[in-house]
Structure 1
């Protein structure tokens, strides 16, 4: 039993290094072991720096609802400047209000046909009976959808390749071997990050330039450009530029990962694939329309289960602005905090047989009933603004692929935490044209 106002306990570690080596070698395994042995709130010591990990729905709820006591880390500002992803307070409210209409469910549904069209175009070159890197292919699909729907422009394959490299580089800021070190240490990962951030910012400036192709009027880019040019909007050139930088990363990265893991799991479980294809064949016509996509209930279950087992955002970082109570413990002011989405989603207290990929578990429950034990898009006031876009894109793309191809995973999948939950290596799958 803890004493009132005591800090969360620390698992056993080593002198001087604390938990640095264990965390760097296997972050997910270390967190899971620490929850099992030390509790749902614990303190890890990384080269003399304390980081508090919260891994219970009640603790996570407190942190996500109490925005005054739990703020964003400065790391987000380093990556995205004054984008919606990183700002706080009145500035966040102003930005959210300016963009939330574009991401409303009603407006996003209007783009289902575009998402299907993009997917069909991208898979036309897939070699039936051959192998593809599904991680790379899903990045291309997601990035093209981002530009077509959100930014109102089209991309060449060369531009997609350049942007993918730049966006991927932002993940290196949160590479465990680098994140455990002080920010002033110039690691190779941090150099890659800064090069990627520079390239993304350069591309964002091009998108917002007065010359060149104009964005489509219904796009978010057109909205941002109008805000930039409106003296009464309080959006200056720099702030609008940061929004585009944030969208170039967050608008495709997590969705591409979610689709990668979902396809890999479909290709790894024959009984899931059989039910997936049976539903598609019974619901979809040659022309895939929104009304039919909404009838694909089993695909919804596959998406929920993939987001549970492989959440694209594995941890939500925060910093305390004051002393704050969490259960029986007290976190000090200026404490770094990680809300472990990965641990929550794989906890046997909240999910039966949690390491098994089982879409059927969502037949009798919903993401809403799981509350803070299921937070692939975060939760509370700062829940991901693009969640409706992401879910519709996943459904449109997976249905389009499933209508034409059967997929077989070639290997088991391993993950490597960065800013997002990255595959540890290439993710090849075999594809076969369906009759």
Structure 2
């Protein structure tokens, strides 16, 4: 056990509650200010437990690559059981190998037309001059993309609404008010979370029953059903259910958030939006094709900048498997560690004017150039398996929506840290038909 003086420093707090009050009042602001004033490795003191934060690219790289010292948090198993999101070691390697062909960039690219069509059908429902609640619209659209492109199942509109609402509840385990309290405290958010987990498993069971008997050939649902029914696969029904739950949540939630943030930011930054419109007008002659989507650098920059300013995963949680020393400070074993994507992406040492939405900053650099200062999909061996799906879906959807509509934001964008970076209230835009 390290000496008390060897532990990372803590921001000033108050007796008994430590940093809990500051964190609950302004989670993002408190973490960023603490990184600025306390250091790139610091310790938040909460009742019953400390939480350690890493806010430097080098430390985040260490945590993502050193899987002997940093493991997955048990909280993921509570939500996703034995899904790819939660498991470690041989089980992770077996699951990753079984599923990665479904997310191969070449295979995903074949579905570009489907993504454009789904976006067009969704946008066709909007009327000229209307106000659209894009957070719910994009959640439903991203979920339909996941089902039709990956799972090979066409849910009804009612199924989509129910699935989207249920999956959204899985964020609640990471509500700031829950983070600062011991795990045994039954907060309202935790109760809602547990109900959401139970409902998601019921949905997964129904999907396998309805779509698993005669799934679309070559779909992930077909693969999972085959594994479930093969006595030699080593995969039982419980693990298959976990995979469906994990895929339904992770396969649409972060993409829906990035679409929501991108549309709101374009609506709030008309000069940037005009550059996007000009590029689309010069490139497209109707709905974008897969080849067209590769010729839209301005839209690429908008997507990169959206994911920098509002990373859908604001922090990557880990647990120390052994004592870890960083910056001459030692984090003990069995401690919760947050790799703060939010801090990395808004660090003035890494990005000029980091609070400003400035897609032009990506004209002379790339995500690869930024290394571990830009990690919207994580990094290392466990980098998000669905990143190519998300990137193509973002581009296809934004291109088709912006081909059709001029966008005006009708409110500000406030966010709250849950499992993902959630809008703090409805997000709306006003749409005006550009084709007239």
TM-score normalized by structure 1?
Answer: 0.97
Secondary structure, counterpart of 1:51 in structure 2: strand
Secondary structure, counterpart of 1:85 in structure 2: coil
Secondary structure, counterpart of 2:102 in structure 1: coil
Partner of 1:220: 220
**Residue 332 (1) aligns with residue 332 (2):** yes
Residues 32-69 of structure 1, C-alpha deviations (whole Å, 9 max, x = no match): 11111110000110114111100000000000000111
Partner of 1:144: 144
Q: Distance in 2 between matches of 1:211 and 1:47?
A: 46
Q: Is the 8 A contact 1:152 1:221 kept in 2?
A: yes
Partner of 1:209: 209
Single out whichever of 310-319 and 148-157 deviates more from structure 2.
148-157
Q: Is the 8 A contact 2:48 2:181 kept in 1?
A: no
Q: CA RMSD in A?
A: 1.4
Secondary structure, counterpart of 1:247 in structure 2: helix
* Counterparts of residues 110-121 of structure 1 (less than 5 Å): 110-121=110-121
| 1:75, distance to aligned residue in structure 2 (A) | 0.3
| 1:219, distance to aligned residue in structure 2 (A) | 1.3
Seen in structure 2, the aligned counterparts of structure 1 residues 212 and 96 have a Cα distance that, compared at 3 Å, is: closer
Partner of 2:249: 249
* Counterparts of residues 109-188 of structure 1 (less than 5 Å): 109-188=109-188
**Residue 230 (1) aligns with residue 233 (2):** no
**Residue 351 (1) aligns with residue 351 (2):** yes
Q: Distance in 2 between matches of 1:323 and 1:400?
A: 50
Q: Is the 8 A contact 2:228 2:235 kept in 1?
A: yes
Q: Distance in 2 between matches of 1:161 and 1:230?
A: 32
Deviating beyond 6 angstroms after TM superposition, the runs of 4 or more aligned structure 1 residues are 210-213
**Residue 32 (1) aligns with residue 32 (2):** yes
Partner of 2:416: 416
| 1:341, distance to aligned residue in structure 2 (A) | 0.3
Secondary structure, counterpart of 1:101 in structure 2: helix
* Counterparts of residues 309-324 of structure 1 (less than 5 Å): 309-324=309-324
Residues 223-243 of structure 1, C-alpha deviations (whole Å, 9 max, x = no match): 111121222322111111100
Seen in structure 2, the aligned counterparts of structure 1 residues 167 and 57 have a Cα distance that, compared at 3 Å, is: same
Secondary structure, counterpart of 2:91 in structure 1: helix
Q: Distance in 2 between matches of 1:87 and 1:213?
A: 27
Q: Distance in 1 between matches of 2:5 and 2:368?
A: 33
| 1:218, distance to aligned residue in structure 2 (A) | 2.1
Q: Is the 8 A contact 2:51 2:336 kept in 1?
A: yes
Secondary structure, counterpart of 1:316 in structure 2: strand
Partner of 1:290: 290
Seen in structure 2, the aligned counterparts of structure 1 residues 4 and 56 have a Cα distance that, compared at 3 Å, is: farther
Secondary structure, counterpart of 1:209 in structure 2: helix
| 1:5, distance to aligned residue in structure 2 (A) | 8.6
Q: Is the 8 A contact 1:5 1:328 kept in 2?
A: no
| 1:180, distance to aligned residue in structure 2 (A) | 1.3
Partner of 1:385: 385
Q: Distance in 2 between matches of 1:252 and 1:211?
A: 19
| 1:287, distance to aligned residue in structure 2 (A) | 3.6
* Counterparts of residues 61-72 of structure 1 (less than 5 Å): 61-72=61-72
Secondary structure, counterpart of 1:68 in structure 2: coil
Seen in structure 2, the aligned counterparts of structure 1 residues 125 and 327 have a Cα distance that, compared at 3 Å, is: same
Secondary structure, counterpart of 1:416 in structure 2: strand
Partner of 1:402: 402
Residues 325-380 of structure 1, C-alpha deviations (whole Å, 9 max, x = no match): 22322111111100000011001000000000000000000000100000000000
**Residue 99 (1) aligns with residue 96 (2):** no
Single out whichever of 262-271 and 321-330 deviates more from structure 2.
321-330
Q: Distance in 1 between matches of 2:37 and 2:219?
A: 50
Q: Is the 8 A contact 1:61 1:372 kept in 2?
A: yes
Secondary structure, counterpart of 2:271 in structure 1: helix
Q: Is the 8 A contact 1:17 1:48 kept in 2?
A: no
| 1:214, distance to aligned residue in structure 2 (A) | 2.3
Q: Distance in 2 between matches of 1:213 and 1:254?
A: 29
Seen in structure 2, the aligned counterparts of structure 1 residues 212 and 244 have a Cα distance that, compared at 3 Å, is: closer
Q: Distance in 2 between matches of 1:118 and 1:107?
A: 18
| 1:210, distance to aligned residue in structure 2 (A) | 6.5
Q: Distance in 2 between matches of 1:192 and 1:129?
A: 36
Seen in structure 2, the aligned counterparts of structure 1 residues 35 and 287 have a Cα distance that, compared at 3 Å, is: closer
Residues 181-201 of structure 1, C-alpha deviations (whole Å, 9 max, x = no match): 111111111111111111111
* Counterparts of residues 51-70 of structure 1 (less than 5 Å): 51-70=51-70
